[in-house]
Structure 1
Amino acid sequence: MSVPDTLPRDRTGGVVAVWVAALVVALSIGIFVEPDWRGAWLSVGLGVCVILSFAVQLVHGRSQGFIVRVAASVLGAMVVMGLIGAGFALAELFAA
């Protein structure tokens, strides 16, 4: 016999947390890594965000919608990191 949830948990908190982590990772890579290596490190940072999204959703403890939440986390992290990476690439292009 399963016990029903007393209060429904907020499902968007974990997704947004991964997006914020992607923002922090992308900004730190853009600031501290040399321009020649930014693309490689951004892909490593996205891999970290994928692992983080799995961990956050597993800690969340609900199986309903797990794949959708992980996909939303990873897709949002990819968009955030892509936009920030494009911004740093354009800044590097016009700074030279």
Structure 2
Amino acid sequence: MSTPDLVPRRTYGGVIAVWVLAVIAGVAIGILVPAPWRAQWITVALGGCVVAAFAIQLWYGRSQAFIQRMAASVLGALVVLGLITAGFGLAAIVPR
């Protein structure tokens, strides 16, 4: 039998941390990777965000709403990387 936490830890920090990781990875890919390889590296970054989300959410040690926190983390990272990729696409069609 487990006792409930009197003051449970906030779980939104882990979700936001994965989003920040996605922003950092997307910007690093935009700066360091040549244009033809960016799409492949964005998928690798999303995979890394999924693994990071698992690690962060398991580190919290709370089973309540685990699936919801994982979904929010991964979906947010997908949206962030999608917006960054859309920026890459728009930048590619703008003449220099």
Tell whether the structures are fold-level matches, with TM greater than 0.5.
yes
In structure 1, the residue matched to 2:83 is: 83
- Deviation readout 1:73-93 (Å, 9 max, x if unpaired): 000000000001110111121
Greater alpha carbon shift after TM alignment, 6-15 vs 59-68 = 6-15
CA RMSD, Structure 1 to Structure 2 (Å): 1.0
Secondary structure of the corresponding residue to residue 94 of structure 2: helix
In the alignment of these two chains, the number of paired residues is 96
Q: Aligned equivalents of 2:10 and 2:31: distance in 1?
A: 33
TM-score, with normalisation over the residues of structure 1?
0.95
In structure 2, the residue matched to 1:61 is: 61
Secondary structure of the corresponding residue to residue 75 of structure 1: helix
Gaps of 5+ in 2: none
Q: Aligned equivalents of 2:2 and 2:13: distance in 1?
A: 25
- The residue type equivalent to 2:11 in the other structure is R
Gaps of 5+ in 1: none
In structure 2, the residue matched to 1:72 is: 72
Deviating above 4 A after TM superposition, structure 1's stretches of 4 or more consecutive aligned residues are none
TM-score, with normalisation over the residues of structure 2?
0.95
In structure 2, the residue matched to 1:50 is: 50
